[in-house]
Structure 1
Amino acid sequence: MYAAIACDPARTRGRLHAEEESAFRTPYQRDRDRIIHSSAFRRLKHKTQVFVEHEGDYFRTRLTHSIEVAQVARTIARVLALNGELTEAVALAHDLGHTPFGHTGEDALAALMAPYGGFDHNAQAIRIVTRLERHYAEFDGLNLTWETLEGLAKHNGPVTGALPYALAEYVAIHDLELATHAGAEAQVAAISDDIAYNNHDLHDGLHAELFTEEEICALPIVGYCFTEVDRRYPGIEPQRRRHEALRRVFGVMVADVIDTSRGLIAASGAESPEDVRLLGRPVIRFSDGLWRDLGAIREFLFSRMYRAPEVVEMRASVTCVVQDLFPLYMERPDLLPPQWRRDVAAAGDRTELARVVADYIAGMTDRFALQAHARHCGPEGAAG
């Protein structure tokens, strides 16, 4: 049974393009399934967040990260009696708009797109699921429900001020009420993203030997969890010790969100999803104390992982890949695949051309971007 604030699939605001609904799947189940079967979701397998895809198959990719986020989100949604299918749909789709090479690629593409309306990965996710996925006979995109689109657009909070080009383009025809908070399900997906990356970046940083277990034991939460494992399992082998400790870090974060959010929901007086949207504050969050502890962990990861010399060197290298490919395709759109050249032919001005080029580059996997760069921009590149 759903909580009063949960989004009931029987009361969905529907889809931009009317469809006959399934006899055996709810609208949010169909959203989730369409996301899983999309081309953009499959490409997440070869897109990374911190490390470049070819550096090793241990490190998380956008795909494994999205699956981890969805698992956490389902757990929290179930305990809070929210709609797990909607929560999972938003969680699985939240990274669809990311470029190759993680935030490094996004930063490079955003700078190149600044004269053409900018680039934002959340807005790009909306563009993908409403336009760029072209598989259905009656519409472009996936024709997701209003609630799923709302969750993708504003799972991190209201979107105000100057809108990213891709988002402004869509809400001009389908109002997602960007000035309000998203429903509780999307808020769960957003905080599950925080939980997942805080945990797996500790895993990946240790595996990359950017820091040691002794160093992270000085951090709040983490040190306590290692101490608990040592107390309960003295002499346990190192790999099991690490896994046991970091899964407890995961558990601490999830339990804190559930306990804190229960109290916030009860205190809010909200009795419907609409009440949640209009509260002016989130109802899904960490406690103040845990948020401060996570700040210390994020600060450590920023200095020791995201700004590690090896990572900074890699960032500079892959930034050049994006910086080379974008102007090349702008001047030589004939190098794009045939389906993309059709979009170029339909472009009315240079801004629309830039959007096509940005769509193409943003959709690349790490490996494909490196191959394209070697082919077109190397000593014997085709564009030479």
Structure 2
Amino acid sequence: MALTVPPRASYAEDPALSLGRKVAEPESRNRTPFARDRDRIIHCTAFRRLKEKTQVFVAHEGDHFRTRLTHSLEVAQVARSLATALGLDADLAETIALAHDLGHPPFGHAGEDELQVQMEPFGGFDHNVQTFRVVTKLERRYPRWEGLNLTWETLEGIIKHNGPVTAKLSQPSWKAITEFDAEYDLGLDTWASAEAQCAALADDIAYNNHDVDDGVQAGLFHLKELLDVPLIGPILAGVYKEYPDLDPGIIRLEAVRRMIGAMIDDVLAETNRRATASKVSSADEVRHLDHALVAFSRDMLEDLGRLREFLMARMYRHWKVNRTRSQARRILAEMFQLFMSEPDVLPTEWFARSQNRDDAGRARVVCDYIAGMTDRFAIEEHRRLFHLDVWN
């Protein structure tokens, strides 16, 4: 049967009508503005570093666990599939998905938690804001501007793919957003495009499924323990029934594959229902709804809540994971405090950036340096700084 490609939705973003870039530049002859954004993200330094940044496990713990890079690629694939099925601009959805984790520090959530603690007196830390700073300031690749000079639609999607952010603007960690918005209005009080919302849901789909996959592979829980968990349990039971003698590894992969399919189908059905009910007919109308357009159904949200409860108890709070989190937080805390008290041990470029700044300004430079590290580099840098057997 031939593949049916849905017609372009009336509420899709049109790259020909993009609001452009903060710094004007000639358009590409052979790429849309959103495709060009995607390529800039793929080629930037922060994207390459995702290959050795992790979420739950540390990069050296195994070659088969997801990293931020493999996660971002999985999110991009799901986001592109959702956008295509809904008649949206797949390039924009993919671009936002590829960028969404650029600001994460080493050691996953443990690293973010520790930087929040260390930066509390100096304006705080938020990985979404850090992602925005990476693409608007910290990446230095062009002669005429800092950052990547991405389109308005991509920047909007990066900072508010989860919804309006005005309630966060009073937080010190969001100061960079308020300053940028004062010069280049991103409409922070509205929803982002449907494409950005696809990227947000794709993130949920990807991490729920790969955490199940990685948790079983790591031996933190057995596949059959999931039989009583909503969503994955019935799917897993169906796979066991259909293939009673199949290798457990293939059963795990087949169950995860089917769960991804079920979640995507749910998003498509719920989004089409909401689009019909709200009668949206333009991208601007999507932004001004009082709710998300792209969403899970209520039943799916309840099932995912139960799955997250299982993963929280059996994976995220497992003693082995807690031990890794403890080690990671100590590494980052000790480096942060050393760099603050002795900034001259920072690499030359970063030391230069820290000069002639107050404590908050120096702390932000230190935070930027640490947040950009990979897991492996952070471990090695800590050894160079604190272990006498390493002198280079």
Report if TM-score (shorter chain) is over 0.5: yes
Cα drift, residue 50 of structure 1: 0.2
C-alpha distance in 1, partners of 2:242/2:226? Answer: 19
* Aligned pairs for 1:181-220 within 5 A: 181-220=191-230
Q: Does 1:66 align with 2:72?
A: yes
3-state SS in 1 of match to 2:324 = helix
- In the alignment, what sits opposite 2:386? 377
Structure 2 residue identity aligned to 1:365: T
Cα drift, residue 330 of structure 1: 1.2
C-alpha distance in 1, partners of 2:114/2:139? Answer: 24
Structure 2 residue identity aligned to 1:86: L
- In the alignment, what sits opposite 1:330? 340
Q: Which moved more, 1:231-240 or 1:243-252?
A: 231-240
Structure 1 residue identity aligned to 2:125: F
Cα drift, residue 341 of structure 1: 2.2
CA offsets per residue over residues 102-121 of structure 1, 9 Å max, x none? 01100100111111111000
Structure 1 residue identity aligned to 2:382: H
Structure 2 residue identity aligned to 1:135: R
* Aligned pairs for 1:121-270 within 5 A: 121-161=127-167, 162-163=170-171, 164-270=174-280
Q: Which moved more, 1:330-339 or 1:285-294?
A: 330-339
C-alpha distance in 2, partners of 1:362/1:169? Answer: 21
Cα drift, residue 382 of structure 1: 6.6
Structure 2 residue identity aligned to 1:127: R
- In the alignment, what sits opposite 2:3? none
Runs of 4+ off more than 4 Å: 379-383
CA offsets per residue over residues 220-252 of structure 1, 9 Å max, x none? 111211222223323122211111111101111
Contact 1:118 1:165 in 2 (8 A): no
3-state SS in 2 of match to 1:300 = helix
CA offsets per residue over residues 24-71 of structure 1, 9 Å max, x none? 100000000000000000000000000011111110000000000000
CA offsets per residue over residues 281-310 of structure 1, 9 Å max, x none? 101111100110010000000111000011
C-alpha distance in 1, partners of 2:269/2:198? Answer: 13
* Aligned pairs for 1:25-44 within 5 A: 25-44=31-50
3-state SS in 1 of match to 2:211 = helix
Q: Does 1:355 align with 2:355?
A: no
Q: Percent identity?
A: 52
Structure 2: 5+ residue runs without aligned partners?
A: 1-6
Contact 1:126 1:149 in 2 (8 A): yes
Q: RMSD of the TM alignment (CA)?
A: 1.4
- In the alignment, what sits opposite 1:342? 352
3-state SS in 2 of match to 1:172 = helix
TM-score by length of 2: 0.95
TM-score by length of 1: 0.97
Structure 2 residue identity aligned to 1:305: M
Q: Which moved more, 1:234-243 or 1:161-170?
A: 161-170
Q: Which moved more, 1:276-285 or 1:227-236?
A: 227-236
Contact 1:124 1:167 in 2 (8 A): no
C-alpha distance in 2, partners of 1:218/1:326? Answer: 44
Contact 1:329 1:336 in 2 (8 A): yes
Contact 1:127 1:170 in 2 (8 A): no
Structure 1: 5+ residue runs without aligned partners?
A: none
Structure 1 residue identity aligned to 2:187: E
C-alpha distance in 1, partners of 2:38/2:134? Answer: 15
Structure 1 residue identity aligned to 2:130: Q
CA offsets per residue over residues 176-218 of structure 1, 9 Å max, x none? 1111111111000001000000000000000011111110111
Cα drift, residue 167 of structure 1: 2.1
3-state SS in 1 of match to 2:228 = coil
C-alpha distance in 1, partners of 2:251/2:357? Answer: 59
Contact 1:119 1:165 in 2 (8 A): no
